[in-house]
Structure 1
Amino acid sequence: MTTTVPALPAGLVERPLTMADARAVYEVMAADQLDQIGMIEIEEADIVGDWGRPSFDVEAQTLGVFDSDRMVGYAEVTYADRGDAAVHPAYRGRGIGTRLAHWMQETARARGARLVGMPVPEGSAGDRLLEALGYHVRHTSWVLKLPAGAEIVRRDLPEGYAVREARPEEWPAAHDVVEDAFLEWSVRERESYDDFVASIQGRPGFEPWNLRVVLDPEGVVVGVSYVVIAETDDGRDAEAYISRLAVRRDQRNRGLAQALMVDSFAVAREHGALVSGLSTDSRTGALDLYKKVGMEVTSVWLSRAIDLV
């Protein structure tokens, strides 16, 4: 199936991006999120870390829209069937979002994908646009925060288990735990170990304590948490964010995930974070777990996708 990709409005130009454009992408995404949900949930380091994966070809998988030298919109196909996009609020209503959506479809189709989608805040301009373009909802996601000053109650581990910073030789096992857990409900290709390492170590500000593990009595990695501290430039408190949290299937229902979570938040607080956050979605069934430790939903996102065949 082929589609006609809408042209850009007069006066705007587009081009593939490079790593040097990461800051401009962040600024567009931050402006879009601040306007849509009243807060910024992206950091420039997130973009640099994602784009630094060996499997990601920045120039082939991104597109920027510019008004003179100013970036006003961007899109990327991050994986075969998933991407992201944003348009600066001052430039909405000019067809830029539609143009970017069609570019994402064509790029994903050329890479062999059968569908492509992206997350959008529920009820936002992006949500309404994708719905109008025929995108369906794949799942719902929630961003949750543990407010500043909230008590972090440590969860005792079962006898013989321990939680600590991952050692270098434990990284391959940590990768396996994360991918095995995520692929139980996520329909995608398995992330390579090289991409896993690059997205973590290549993220600006990385420190070894960011990757946490739970070890069973035999010293085997059975749980993993990856927590970072978001460096804010909009006056917000520094925030700890868990971007990956996983426990091996046969080790669940023992309190390991909760122990990892409170450990990650506590260690991040020791490193200056005042607020703690993470996200989960309707495929995991973990929302109630996070609410039990005092976390509050701050925004709701929909993963919308469209069939390409």
Structure 2
Amino acid sequence: MAQAELPADCTARPIDPDTDLPAVQHLVNTCERALDGTATTDAGALAAVLARPGLDPAADTLLVHTGDGRLVGWAWTDRRTDADVHPDYRGRGLGTALLRWIEQRARERGTAELAQIVPDRDPAATALLTAHGFRADVTSWLLAIDLAGLPADLPPAPEGLTVRPFRAGDPADEQAAHRLTEDAFDEWQQRRKDFDEWAANTVRRPAFAADRSPLAFADGHLVGAALALDLPDTGEGYVETVAVHAGHRHRGIARHLLRHTFHACRAAGLRSCTLWTHSATGALDLYLKAGMTVRHSSTVLKKTLA
């Protein structure tokens, strides 16, 4: 079993999903605030990580505590990987120790390639991974729009289209949205997510905002969806997923759905709305034309394991 080589005053153990999530969220949010001034990771996002098919929390996660019980680092690995070190504890080799544990555990699992998203505004993390053989793969962008500048009224829907909000807890909406989004992303995603994994990240996540998540129908069939989250600590709306059926693209459906979400966020008293996209999707121009601007970027770094 993989073991981490830690500073002398630290100990390591796997996460206990029943008791450790609040402390892990606090650590992750502390790291986010140190980097960006705001925290965006909610408990539902961390729970979805631990529920990834094939991830065993007892073997594929690691928590690092100081002698007084303070959580100062954590990591997980399952094809994708991630690690966080408390800002007060950086520069002591803990990040290197976590990275070595990640690679050792990945080799035990038989993982062929690791992938980690690193903010471009964190050059120390980028330098650490590149020094250990990771290479840049694709770029991700966080885009935002100032909701105060929106037109007062929504434009009319594209011809032949009807739009309504997602019906929270409706199995029909959930299953249809799952099929639509997984079909739409088949072109570039590494694997299809089954319904339970997909739902844990979207419609069954506690932060899911059904009233800000419009669905577009043509002839009674779902052809587009924009699925939004409520992240109240940020004061912003967030779009988790935008998807349009391949046979209905280039009709302005995605842009129209975004406008619905933007207006719903403004009606909820939010000042702005954000979303992530990356270079493999080719969707950056869509969001720029919808009035969004790039706030900052990240790079997906990958390493092939021997």
TM-score, length-normalised on structure 1?
0.88
SS in 1 for 2:299: strand
Shifted more, 25-34 versus 134-143: the winner is: 25-34
Deviations 1:177-196 (A, max 9, x none): 1112222112x221001222
How far apart, in 2, do the equivalents of 1:247 and 1:110 lie? 39
Does 2:140 correspond to 1:141? yes
SS in 1 for 2:242: strand
Going from structure 1 to structure 2, the CA distance change for 1:42 and 1:150 (only over 3 Å counts) comes to farther
Residue equivalent to 2:194: 192
Going from structure 1 to structure 2, the CA distance change for 1:7 and 1:54 (only over 3 Å counts) comes to closer
Does the 8 A contact of 2:140 with 2:279 survive in 1? yes
Does the 8 A contact of 2:163 with 2:216 survive in 1? yes
Does the 8 A contact of 1:37 with 1:121 survive in 2? no
Correspondence for 2:120 among 112, 119, 122: 122
Residue equivalent to 1:61: 60
Residue equivalent to 1:271: 268
Residue equivalent to 2:246: 249
How far apart, in 2, do the equivalents of 1:214 and 1:56 lie? 34
Does the 8 A contact of 1:8 with 1:99 survive in 2? yes
Residue equivalent to 2:221: 220
Which runs of structure 2 are paired with 1:1-309 in the superposition (5 Å)?
7-19=5-17, 20-52=19-51, 56-67=55-66, 68-77=68-77, 80-124=78-122, 125-151=124-150, 154-167=154-167, 168=170, 169-186=172-189, 188-209=190-211, 211-216=213-218, 218-232=219-233, 236=234, 238-309=235-306
The amino acid of 1:203's aligned partner reads R
Q: Report the CA distance between 1:110 and its aligned residue.
A: 3.3
Q: Report the CA distance between 1:94 and its aligned residue.
A: 1.4
Deviations 1:96-144 (A, max 9, x none): 1112112222333333321011111114121121111111011011111
Q: Report the CA distance between 1:243 and its aligned residue.
A: 1.0
SS in 1 for 2:149: coil
How far apart, in 1, do the equivalents of 2:141 and 2:302 lie? 18
How far apart, in 1, do the equivalents of 2:221 and 2:114 lie? 37
Going from structure 1 to structure 2, the CA distance change for 1:52 and 1:157 (only over 3 Å counts) comes to same
Q: Structure 2: where are the runs of 5+ without partners?
A: none
Going from structure 1 to structure 2, the CA distance change for 1:40 and 1:298 (only over 3 Å counts) comes to farther
Shifted more, 59-68 versus 172-181: the winner is: 59-68
Does the 8 A contact of 1:53 with 1:199 survive in 2? no
Stretches of 4+ aligned residues off by more than 4 angstroms: 52-56
The amino acid of 2:89's aligned partner reads Y
The amino acid of 1:178's aligned partner reads T
Shifted more, 250-259 versus 157-166: the winner is: 157-166
Does the 8 A contact of 2:118 with 2:126 survive in 1? yes
Q: Report the CA distance between 1:175 and its aligned residue.
A: 0.7
Going from structure 1 to structure 2, the CA distance change for 1:272 and 1:107 (only over 3 Å counts) comes to farther
How far apart, in 2, do the equivalents of 1:171 and 1:112 lie? 34
Does the 8 A contact of 1:227 with 1:268 survive in 2? no
Please tell me the root mean square deviation across aligned C-alpha atoms, in Å. Answer: 2.4
The amino acid of 1:9's aligned partner reads P
Deviations 1:215-237 (A, max 9, x none): 11x111111221011121xxx5x
How far apart, in 1, do the equivalents of 2:144 and 2:135 lie? 27
Aligned length: 299
Deviations 1:229-262 (A, max 9, x none): 1121xxx5x2110111111112111111111111
Going from structure 1 to structure 2, the CA distance change for 1:82 and 1:219 (only over 3 Å counts) comes to same
Q: Report the CA distance between 1:54 and its aligned residue.
A: 6.6
The amino acid of 2:229's aligned partner reads V
Shifted more, 274-283 versus 202-211: the winner is: 202-211
Does the 8 A contact of 1:48 with 1:202 survive in 2? no
Does the 8 A contact of 2:207 with 2:231 survive in 1? no
Identity rate, percent: 34
Q: Structure 1: where are the runs of 5+ without partners?
A: none
SS in 1 for 2:191: coil
The amino acid of 2:232's aligned partner reads E
